[in-house]
Amino acid sequence: MKNHQHQPRKRFGQNFLKDNHVIQNIIAAINPKPNDRVIEIGPGLGALTKPLLEHVIKLEVIELDRNLVTKLKDFSNAQDLTKKLIIHQADALKFDYSQLERNHDEKLRIIGNLPYNISTPLIFHLLNYCPIIQDMHFMLQYELVERISSKPNHKSYGKLSVMLQYFCQATTLFIVEPQAFYPAPKVRSAIIRLVPHASPAYPSNNIERLREVTGAAFNQRRKTLANSLKNYLNQADFITLVIDPRIRPEQLTVSEFVRIANFIEDKLKLSPE
Protein backbone atom coordinates (compact mmCIF):
# COMPACT_ATOMS: atom_id res chain seq x y z
CA MET A 1 0.00 0.00 0.00
CA LYS A 2 2.42 2.65 -1.19
CA ASN A 3 1.35 6.10 -2.34
CA HIS A 4 2.80 5.73 -5.83
CA GLN A 5 0.64 2.68 -6.51
CA HIS A 6 -2.53 4.72 -6.24
CA GLN A 7 -3.42 7.88 -8.13
CA PRO A 8 -5.20 10.10 -5.54
CA ARG A 9 -8.77 10.87 -6.57
CA LYS A 10 -9.98 14.39 -6.05
CA ARG A 11 -13.66 13.47 -6.09
CA PHE A 12 -13.10 11.23 -3.07
CA GLY A 13 -11.24 13.99 -1.24
CA GLN A 14 -8.08 11.91 -1.16
CA ASN A 15 -5.24 13.63 0.65
CA PHE A 16 -3.18 10.90 2.21
CA LEU A 17 -1.22 11.42 5.39
CA LYS A 18 2.48 10.86 4.88
CA ASP A 19 4.05 12.51 7.94
CA ASN A 20 4.84 9.88 10.55
CA HIS A 21 5.20 12.39 13.32
CA VAL A 22 1.68 13.73 12.67
CA ILE A 23 0.33 10.17 12.43
CA GLN A 24 1.84 9.30 15.82
CA ASN A 25 0.41 12.48 17.35
CA ILE A 26 -3.07 11.56 16.10
CA ILE A 27 -2.82 8.02 17.49
CA ALA A 28 -1.58 9.44 20.82
CA ALA A 29 -4.53 11.86 20.92
CA ILE A 30 -6.99 9.03 20.28
CA ASN A 31 -5.21 6.84 22.85
CA PRO A 32 -6.86 3.61 21.66
CA LYS A 33 -7.20 0.74 24.15
CA PRO A 34 -7.26 -2.93 23.07
CA ASN A 35 -11.01 -3.41 23.59
CA ASP A 36 -12.13 -0.07 22.15
CA ARG A 37 -14.66 -0.32 19.33
CA VAL A 38 -12.80 1.86 16.87
CA ILE A 39 -14.37 2.67 13.51
CA GLU A 40 -12.24 4.43 10.93
CA ILE A 41 -13.89 6.37 8.14
CA GLY A 42 -11.89 6.58 4.91
CA PRO A 43 -8.85 4.42 5.72
CA GLY A 44 -7.38 5.11 2.27
CA LEU A 45 -3.90 3.63 2.06
CA GLY A 46 -3.89 2.81 5.76
CA ALA A 47 -1.83 5.67 7.20
CA LEU A 48 -3.89 5.60 10.42
CA THR A 49 -5.26 2.08 10.01
CA LYS A 50 -1.91 0.33 10.38
CA PRO A 51 -0.80 2.01 13.62
CA LEU A 52 -4.34 1.62 15.00
CA LEU A 53 -4.16 -2.13 14.34
CA GLU A 54 -1.20 -2.28 16.70
CA HIS A 55 -3.37 -1.03 19.55
CA VAL A 56 -6.80 -2.60 19.16
CA ILE A 57 -8.07 -6.16 19.04
CA LYS A 58 -10.56 -5.35 16.31
CA LEU A 59 -10.88 -2.46 13.88
CA GLU A 60 -13.67 -1.69 11.43
CA VAL A 61 -13.14 0.61 8.48
CA ILE A 62 -15.52 2.18 5.97
CA GLU A 63 -14.09 3.03 2.56
CA LEU A 64 -15.95 4.08 -0.58
CA ASP A 65 -13.20 3.77 -3.20
CA ARG A 66 -13.26 0.21 -4.59
CA ASN A 67 -9.60 0.34 -5.62
CA LEU A 68 -8.56 1.20 -2.11
CA VAL A 69 -10.83 -1.49 -0.67
CA THR A 70 -9.08 -4.04 -2.90
CA LYS A 71 -5.70 -2.82 -1.64
CA LEU A 72 -6.85 -2.97 1.96
CA LYS A 73 -8.15 -6.50 1.48
CA ASP A 74 -4.87 -7.61 -0.12
CA PHE A 75 -2.99 -6.11 2.79
CA SER A 76 -5.31 -7.76 5.30
CA ASN A 77 -4.96 -11.18 3.63
CA ALA A 78 -1.19 -10.89 3.34
CA GLN A 79 -0.86 -9.94 7.00
CA ASP A 80 -3.42 -12.52 8.15
CA LEU A 81 -5.61 -9.78 9.62
CA THR A 82 -8.96 -10.83 8.16
CA LYS A 83 -10.52 -11.44 11.60
CA LYS A 84 -9.05 -8.30 13.12
CA LEU A 85 -9.68 -5.80 10.32
CA ILE A 86 -13.29 -5.64 9.14
CA ILE A 87 -13.60 -3.75 5.86
CA HIS A 88 -16.91 -2.21 4.77
CA GLN A 89 -17.03 -1.04 1.19
CA ALA A 90 -19.66 1.64 1.74
CA ASP A 91 -20.53 5.32 1.69
CA ALA A 92 -19.91 6.68 5.19
CA LEU A 93 -22.61 9.29 4.53
CA LYS A 94 -25.29 6.61 4.21
CA PHE A 95 -23.84 4.03 6.57
CA ASP A 96 -26.05 2.84 9.42
CA TYR A 97 -23.66 2.93 12.38
CA SER A 98 -26.22 1.29 14.67
CA GLN A 99 -25.86 -1.96 12.69
CA LEU A 100 -22.29 -2.39 13.94
CA GLU A 101 -22.10 -5.16 16.46
CA ARG A 102 -21.58 -4.01 20.05
CA ASN A 103 -21.36 -5.90 23.31
CA HIS A 104 -23.70 -4.58 26.00
CA ASP A 105 -23.24 -0.83 26.42
CA GLU A 106 -20.05 -0.61 24.37
CA LYS A 107 -19.84 2.67 22.52
CA LEU A 108 -18.11 3.48 19.26
CA ARG A 109 -14.96 5.53 18.89
CA ILE A 110 -15.08 7.04 15.42
CA ILE A 111 -12.00 8.42 13.77
CA GLY A 112 -11.00 9.65 10.34
CA ASN A 113 -8.96 11.93 8.20
CA LEU A 114 -12.17 12.93 6.51
CA PRO A 115 -12.65 13.74 2.84
CA TYR A 116 -12.96 17.52 2.98
CA ASN A 117 -15.84 17.62 0.48
CA ILE A 118 -18.23 15.65 2.70
CA SER A 119 -17.00 16.51 6.22
CA THR A 120 -19.97 18.64 7.30
CA PRO A 121 -22.81 16.35 6.09
CA LEU A 122 -20.91 13.35 7.43
CA ILE A 123 -20.60 14.87 10.90
CA PHE A 124 -24.31 15.75 10.84
CA HIS A 125 -25.11 12.17 9.82
CA LEU A 126 -23.01 10.90 12.73
CA LEU A 127 -24.81 13.17 15.21
CA ASN A 128 -27.85 10.90 14.72
CA TYR A 129 -25.85 8.19 16.46
CA CYS A 130 -24.63 10.20 19.47
CA PRO A 131 -26.17 7.82 22.06
CA ILE A 132 -23.91 4.99 20.84
CA ILE A 133 -20.77 7.09 20.32
CA GLN A 134 -18.07 7.51 22.94
CA ASP A 135 -16.05 10.06 20.99
CA MET A 136 -14.96 11.15 17.52
CA HIS A 137 -11.56 12.36 16.34
CA PHE A 138 -11.43 13.94 12.93
CA MET A 139 -8.96 15.67 10.70
CA LEU A 140 -10.79 18.56 9.07
CA GLN A 141 -9.97 21.81 7.34
CA TYR A 142 -8.85 24.21 10.06
CA GLU A 143 -11.47 26.75 9.06
CA LEU A 144 -14.19 24.15 9.68
CA VAL A 145 -12.68 23.14 13.03
CA GLU A 146 -12.74 26.79 14.03
CA ARG A 147 -16.39 27.15 13.08
CA ILE A 148 -17.37 23.97 14.94
CA SER A 149 -15.60 24.81 18.20
CA SER A 150 -16.10 28.57 18.20
CA LYS A 151 -17.62 30.30 21.23
CA PRO A 152 -20.10 33.22 21.33
CA ASN A 153 -18.77 36.64 20.32
CA HIS A 154 -16.28 35.20 17.84
CA LYS A 155 -16.37 35.77 14.11
CA SER A 156 -16.47 32.05 13.36
CA TYR A 157 -19.38 31.38 15.78
CA GLY A 158 -22.45 30.40 13.76
CA LYS A 159 -25.12 27.82 13.06
CA LEU A 160 -22.53 25.04 12.81
CA SER A 161 -21.06 25.89 16.24
CA VAL A 162 -24.51 25.95 17.85
CA MET A 163 -25.73 22.70 16.30
CA LEU A 164 -22.51 20.78 16.92
CA GLN A 165 -22.06 22.04 20.47
CA TYR A 166 -25.66 21.21 21.26
CA PHE A 167 -24.74 17.54 20.74
CA CYS A 168 -21.06 17.42 21.60
CA GLN A 169 -18.25 19.01 23.48
CA ALA A 170 -15.80 20.15 20.78
CA THR A 171 -12.07 20.53 21.41
CA THR A 172 -9.44 21.58 18.88
CA LEU A 173 -6.36 19.44 19.48
CA PHE A 174 -3.68 20.55 17.01
CA ILE A 175 -3.06 22.03 13.60
CA VAL A 176 -1.65 19.99 10.73
CA GLU A 177 0.23 21.73 7.91
CA PRO A 178 -0.45 20.91 4.21
CA GLN A 179 2.99 19.27 3.77
CA ALA A 180 1.86 16.39 5.98
CA PHE A 181 -0.31 15.13 3.09
CA TYR A 182 0.05 13.73 -0.38
CA PRO A 183 -1.12 15.57 -2.40
CA ALA A 184 -0.80 18.67 -0.20
CA PRO A 185 -4.14 20.48 0.23
CA LYS A 186 -4.27 24.26 -0.23
CA VAL A 187 -5.23 24.98 3.37
CA ARG A 188 -4.23 23.98 6.88
CA SER A 189 -6.04 21.18 8.69
CA ALA A 190 -6.63 20.41 12.35
CA ILE A 191 -7.62 17.55 14.58
CA ILE A 192 -10.85 17.98 16.48
CA ARG A 193 -12.25 15.84 19.31
CA LEU A 194 -16.04 15.62 19.62
CA VAL A 195 -17.50 14.02 22.74
CA PRO A 196 -21.29 13.62 22.80
CA HIS A 197 -22.90 15.09 25.94
CA ALA A 198 -24.34 12.40 28.21
CA SER A 199 -27.52 14.46 28.04
CA PRO A 200 -27.86 18.00 26.71
CA ALA A 201 -27.73 20.68 29.41
CA TYR A 202 -30.79 22.32 27.85
CA PRO A 203 -32.77 19.75 25.86
CA SER A 204 -34.35 20.89 22.64
CA ASN A 205 -37.94 19.77 22.11
CA ASN A 206 -37.50 19.79 18.34
CA ILE A 207 -34.03 19.67 16.77
CA GLU A 208 -35.38 20.71 13.39
CA ARG A 209 -36.84 23.87 14.96
CA LEU A 210 -33.50 24.60 16.62
CA ARG A 211 -31.77 24.19 13.26
CA GLU A 212 -34.32 26.44 11.53
CA VAL A 213 -34.28 29.21 14.13
CA THR A 214 -30.48 29.21 14.44
CA GLY A 215 -30.26 29.35 10.64
CA ALA A 216 -32.69 32.26 10.48
CA ALA A 217 -30.78 34.18 13.16
CA PHE A 218 -27.37 33.72 11.51
CA ASN A 219 -28.69 34.24 8.02
CA GLN A 220 -28.51 37.94 8.78
CA ARG A 221 -25.79 37.90 11.39
CA ARG A 222 -25.23 41.64 11.38
CA LYS A 223 -28.87 42.32 12.19
CA THR A 224 -30.41 42.38 15.64
CA LEU A 225 -32.48 39.43 16.86
CA ALA A 226 -35.59 41.59 16.72
CA ASN A 227 -34.96 41.93 13.01
CA SER A 228 -33.73 38.49 12.00
CA LEU A 229 -36.33 36.65 14.10
CA LYS A 230 -39.23 39.02 13.41
CA ASN A 231 -41.20 36.23 11.73
CA TYR A 232 -41.10 34.25 14.96
CA LEU A 233 -40.93 36.63 17.93
CA ASN A 234 -42.56 39.92 18.94
CA GLN A 235 -41.43 42.36 21.61
CA ALA A 236 -43.51 40.70 24.34
CA ASP A 237 -41.92 37.34 23.49
CA PHE A 238 -38.43 38.77 24.03
CA ILE A 239 -39.55 40.08 27.44
CA THR A 240 -40.90 36.64 28.38
CA LEU A 241 -37.64 35.06 27.22
CA VAL A 242 -35.59 37.66 29.12
CA ILE A 243 -33.46 38.15 26.01
CA ASP A 244 -32.51 41.58 24.73
CA PRO A 245 -33.90 41.90 21.16
CA ARG A 246 -31.18 44.44 20.29
CA ILE A 247 -28.34 41.95 20.48
CA ARG A 248 -26.90 40.02 17.53
CA PRO A 249 -27.04 36.24 17.08
CA GLU A 250 -23.34 35.73 17.81
CA GLN A 251 -23.95 37.01 21.36
CA LEU A 252 -26.29 34.13 22.21
CA THR A 253 -25.07 30.95 23.89
CA VAL A 254 -26.13 27.50 22.70
CA SER A 255 -28.57 27.16 25.61
CA GLU A 256 -30.12 30.53 24.75
CA PHE A 257 -30.70 29.36 21.21
CA VAL A 258 -32.36 26.23 22.60
CA ARG A 259 -34.53 28.35 24.89
CA ILE A 260 -35.63 30.56 21.98
CA ALA A 261 -36.30 27.60 19.66
CA ASN A 262 -38.29 25.75 22.36
CA PHE A 263 -40.34 28.89 23.00
CA ILE A 264 -41.08 29.25 19.28
CA GLU A 265 -41.97 25.57 19.04
CA ASP A 266 -44.48 25.92 21.91
CA LYS A 267 -45.87 29.12 20.44
CA LEU A 268 -46.41 27.50 17.03
CA LYS A 269 -48.07 24.49 18.65
CA LEU A 270 -50.54 26.78 20.40
CA SER A 271 -51.35 28.73 17.26
CA PRO A 272 -50.21 26.66 14.26
CA GLU A 273 -49.97 28.70 11.08
Positions touching ligand SAM (CB under 6 A) are: 12-17, 41-45, 47-48, 62-65, 68, 91-93, 113, 115, 118
Q: Are the beta carbons of 38 and 59 closer than 8 angstroms?
A: yes
Nearer to ligand SAM, 180 or 258 (CB): 180
DSSP code at position 120 = H
Nearest position to ligand SAM, beta carbon: 42
Nearer to ligand SAM, 60 or 63 (CB): 63
Nearer to ligand SAM, 44 or 158 (CB): 44
Nearer to ligand SAM, 125 or 259 (CB): 125
Q: How far is the CB of 135 from ligand SAM (least distance, A)?
A: 18
Q: How far is the CB of 15 from ligand SAM (least distance, A)?
A: 5
Q: Are the beta carbons of 14 and 77 closer than 8 angstroms?
A: no
Sign (positive or negative) of CA dihedral 120, 125, 130, 133? negative
Q: How far is the CB of 4 from ligand SAM (least distance, A)?
A: 14
Furthest CA-CA distance within the chain: 70
Q: How far is the CB of 65 from ligand SAM (least distance, A)?
A: 4
Query: In terms of DSSP H, where are the helices of 31-130?
Result: 49-53, 66-78, 119-127
End-to-end CA distance of the chain: 59
